[in-house]
Structure 1
Amino acid sequence: MSENQNLPAAASAREDEIDLMDMLIVLVRQKKWVIGCTVVIGGAALVASLLMTQIFTSKATIMPPQQQSSGLSAMLGKLAGDVGGMAGLKNPNDLYVGMLESRTVADSLIRRFKLKEMFETQTMDDTRSVLNGMSNISSGKDGLISVSIDHKDPLFAAQLANAYVEELVRLTQTLAVTDASQRRLFFEKQLKQSKEQLALAEVALRKTQEKTGLLQPEGQIQSIIGNVAQLRATIAAKEVQLTAMRSFATEQNPEYQRTQQEIGGLKAQLAKLEQGQQTDGDFMVPTGKVPQTGLEYIRRLRDVKYHETMFELLAKQFEMAKIEEAKDTSTIQVLDRATPADRKSKPKRAVITLLGVVMGFFVGVLSAFAREGLGRSRQGDGAKRWAALRQAWRAD
């Protein structure tokens, strides 16, 4: 019974051996065809690689800012690093990679190098696509970010790679990426608002001074009171003098009339101070309005002092934030500037030629079996089938 079971297995082995031998026979018979296909396709690949435009690659390497924080932020940062893979958190460098790949940076480079005219594209979207195709921005496991540019001009490739880094530096200066820069931007905005409010308060104080005539309230009020007292005393003295003159002079006496006129002028000045009659350019405030104008002046002056104090405090905070931002390591540091490449990076002629040879060999082998099968089909029963096919084709 066991011998009968071994017979089919032996027959199957012989059939496999016969099939393998048949394949080798076909390859030996079609060896010229296989070698020809390999040489032709491999040679075509070599010629194509020689005709391809040489591409040079320039790379710039930068070290992104290292976030330094304390307390809760540090603890959260350590926790994020421990469970980053489980929670799906990304590398902080991805933020700067995203900024480099942003439309803002691309548009700035397009305008700077006039890439639309260079690439001869119709729209900005097409220009961005060409720019993205020749740019390779990646973050390595070592924490460094590399910017590689492929172009036929090695000098332009180096300039464009360095321009990417420059645009990133400029973008980080305008955007609040770190805690220190956020504080600096906050105090900068508050300082600008405080400066505007201080200017408005100073304008309001100046208008109050122009309207009321008060420049230094304490000194001016004392001067006004002294002038009023002096005028009253002078008027009283003149009236006593006029009364004394009546005993020996008539009303037609020139001296008597002059004294009367002097008394009238002094009384007019006193009335102006007491009743509020001011003329243009007169800085003497009416005594009836001293409390009101003094209160208004004090309020305006208080506003100016308040905004001055706020401006000084915010200015100090702003300067401290700038110092903190400068001390922070959150600046883009260029590790390697891009330089024009001495050797081409593409095309890789050896790889292209090798792939062409391998592809030619496989094409030759497959086509050899196809040729062998086609030749056999035209003999014996296959010839009759071919004749019937031709007859049917002609009949149609």
Structure 2
Amino acid sequence: MSLQSCQRLWSNRVALAKGTAVGLVLAGVVAAILPNVYRSSIRLLPSVRVTKPSPSDADLELFAGILQSRTVADRVIDELQLKARYRTDTYDEARRRLAANTRVTVEHDSGSVRIEVEDHKAQEAAALARAYVEQLERVAHDITGLEAHSQASFLQQRVAASATDSKDDARKLSEFAGQHSIVDLEAQEQTNIRMLNSLRQARWALERQVKQLSELYGPDNDRIRSLQAQIASLGGQALRIAGDPKTGEGATMERFSPPSGRMLASLEPELSDLSRNEIQHDQVAQSLEIERDLVHIQESAQPSPVFVLDQAEIAETKSWPPRIPLTLFGGVFGFLSVIGWMLAAPSLAVQVSPARWRTALSSFSNNLHRLSGRATRTPRNVC
């Protein structure tokens, strides 16, 4: 800048001061007219943080997507009656206004999601942030509840199938036991052993009597023949219990008597398989019922899928507009505007006296008055 330009600016210092003052006043008025904007923020952590070292990026993006979804926006609009506040009748306009005042940020370093909401009232900004969290929890509960319900339905089907298999195995075991007159394998074996021992003892006693009577009366005695017949009967019973296939009356007695020891030994593998299958299916059904009950308990008492790290607080100070910087910017703009006008139009940048300023202002006001008078004059009718 040359010395002549500096002298010219110095000579017009009054105009510079007036331009700066006008810029300060206008910027101050605009800054005062602008409404205050308050910001409320809230930080969320997905509940997977409890079971994992840190939530994955997919979990964070899922929560951010839910927060920015149309479902959450419509629920927030209905809950806080934002259409009436925004003076609109359509959801599209209300969603647009809400999205313009809301910012969702995914913080990958800390593994959290931040929600920032702006409004002209501090209480409303905090209420909007809390409403977002409430609707996020509801949508997440709906998603997890649907998964739990599907899992419970699947387990219920498995329980019904296992119960049917267990009933079929029990029926087969009952039919098999009925066909072979089996009540309890171990108890029946012990019963057979006791019966054999008693038959042997009775046979030994009868044989001693036959020996004694034979020494006294000889082998042709009727009493001896009766005792020998009893001994033969006891032997046949012992053979049937022991499982000898060559029995005298076994063909008719086997239908009404319990199986022999040899038959029990041959039936034991098949009986064990049937019993094992019944026990296994019953255990599977019981474990599935326990798992189903646990799923129902988790479904009825689901933990919150969101952990609120930083609650939404009512802002004590405005976030916008910065009135002092705006006012100072207006003053600087006015000062620079006058300087630019003086340097760009040297012919106009002469000594501007107060008289010239008054003459220019009066001429401008007179022209403005004449224009306003013409505008308010009643037009003539044209035939």
Q: CA deviation at 1:103?
A: 0.9
Which residue in the other structure is 1:352 paired with? 326
Tell me the amino acid that sits aligned with residue 350 of structure 1: I
Question: Hey, what's the Cα distance between the residues in 2 that align with 1:170 and 1:58?
Answer: 21
Q: Give 3-state SS (helix, strand or coil) of 1:138's partner.
A: strand
1:152 to partner: Cα distance? 2.3
Distance (whole Å) between structure 1 residues aligned to residue 9 and residue 67 of structure 2: 55
| 8 A Cα contact 1:67 1:329, kept in partner | no
Aligned to 1:106: 73
Amino acid at match of 2:311: R
Name the counterpart of 1:188: 152
Please give the alpha-carbon distance, in whole angstroms, between the structure 2 residues aligned to 1:156 and 1:367.
Answer: 46
Q: What is the CA distance between 1:354 and its match in structure 2?
A: 2.2
Aligned to 2:345: 371
Question: What is the TM-score with the length of structure 2 in the denominator?
Answer: 0.51
Structure-to-structure mapping, 1:16-55, within 5 angstroms: 19-55=1-37
Alignment CA distance shift 1:66-1:25 (3 Å): farther
Deviations 1:149-168 (A, max 9, x none): 22222222212111111111
Deviation at 1:93, TM superposition (A): 2.3
Partner of 1:253: none
* Residues 117/192 of structure 1: CA separation in 2 closer, same or farther (3 Å cut): farther
Among residues 101, 114, 128, which one is paired with 1:160 in the alignment? 128
Deviation at 1:327, TM superposition (A): 12
1:151 lines up with 2:133 in the alignment? no
Q: CA deviation at 1:137?
A: 2.2
Overall identity of the aligned pairs, in %: 26
Match for 1:344: what amino acid?
K
Q: CA shift at 1:311, angstroms?
A: 7.5
CA distance in 2, matches of 1:97, 1:365: 51
Runs of 5+ unmatched residues, structure 1: 1-18, 81-89, 202-216, 219-306, 377-396
Q: Would you say how many aligned residue pairs link Structure 1 and Structure 2?
A: 237
Instruction: Letter of the 1:40 partner, please give it.
Output: V
Separation (CA, whole Å) in 2 of partners of 1:25 and 1:314: 97
How far apart are residue 333 of structure 1 and its match?
0.8
- Distance in 2 of aligned mates of 1:45 and 1:312: 78
CA shift, 1:102, in A, is 1.2
Q: Is the 8 A contact 1:67 1:330 kept in 2?
A: no
What is the CA deviation profile of residues 358-382 of structure 1, one whole-angstrom value per residue up to 9, with x for unaligned ones? 2222222212213325568xxxxxx
Larger radius of gyration: 2
Contact residue 194 and residue 310 of structure 1 kept, 8 A = no
Question: What's the counterpart of residue 308 of structure 2?
Answer: 334
Q: Are residues 362 and 91 of structure 1, via their aligned partners in 2, closer, same or farther at CA, if it must alter by over 3 Å? A: farther
Q: Secondary structure at the match of 1:48?
A: helix
Root mean square deviation, CA, Å: 4.3
The answer as to whether partners of 1:139 and 1:146 remain within 8 angstroms in 2 is: yes
Residues 1-396 of structure 1 correspond to what in structure 2 (within 5 A)?
Answer: 19-66=1-48, 92-140=59-107, 141-176=109-144, 184=148, 186-191=150-155, 314-320=288-294, 331-374=305-348
CA contact (8 A) 1:184 1:318 kept: no
Secondary structure in structure 1 of the residue aligned to 2:118: strand
Equivalent pair of 1:187/1:317 in contact (CA under 8 Å): no
